[in-house]
Amino acid sequence: MIRSSRGRTALSWSLVLLQFTLLGLLLWQSSLAALSWPALSLMAAGASLGGWAIRAMRPGRFNIRPDIKPGAAMVSHAPYAVIRHPMYSAFLLVCAGLVLAPFSLAKLCLWLLLLVVLMFKSVYEESLLKAHFPNYAAYRQRTWRFIPYFF
């Protein structure tokens, strides 16, 4: 585990950069004119989930980096009662819609790489949360990482 705050900050920013680089590549290869109802439905579901998660967390406490902000409080209600990382789930849903606009194998590979990045980011974030919040381990056992009742 990375012990220095400088190392943690570099890792956090690297993960965010990877995440948004993959989003940029998906956008670059997508055509908004080719958005189908399934694509729009995935994107709307992702936007709704993301909005719900931000509302539950309260605006101003949102952090794009996996680091814990000073004075942070553990959120375990609303979508966080079932999913530990609803913002990552929302991001994946929106990007899944982009994969369908129009579909290509290259965009599917980018989405799968994004999934790997977000899985790594969530594992890193959970190690920080577990160290910061004594009740995080119990919360982790009763919730799902990204998809309720599946994963």
pLDDT of residue 147: 94
Q: Is residue 66 part of a domain?
A: no
Q: Residue 151: pLDDT band by 50, 70, 90 thresholds?
A: confident
Q: Is residue 2 part of a domain?
A: no
Q: Is residue 16 part of a domain?
A: no
Q: Is residue 125 part of a domain?
A: yes
Taking only Cα atoms into account, the Rg of the chain, rounded to an integer number of angstroms, comes to: 16
Q: Residue 3: pLDDT band by 50, 70, 90 thresholds?
A: low
Q: Rounded distance, CA 102 to CA 125, Å?
A: 33
Q: Is residue 90 part of a domain?
A: yes
Beta bridge partners of 30: none
The domain of 53 spans: 22-61+74-141
What residue has token string 């956090």? 12
pLDDT, tens only, 86-122: 999 999 999 999 999 999 999 999 999 999 999 999 9
pLDDT of residue 58: 85
Q: Is residue 27 part of a domain?
A: yes
Q: Residue 71: pLDDT band by 50, 70, 90 thresholds?
A: confident
pLDDT, tens only, 117-131: 999 999 999 999 999
Q: Is residue 4 part of a domain?
A: no
Q: Residue 2: pLDDT band by 50, 70, 90 thresholds?
A: low
The count of structural domains within the chain is 1
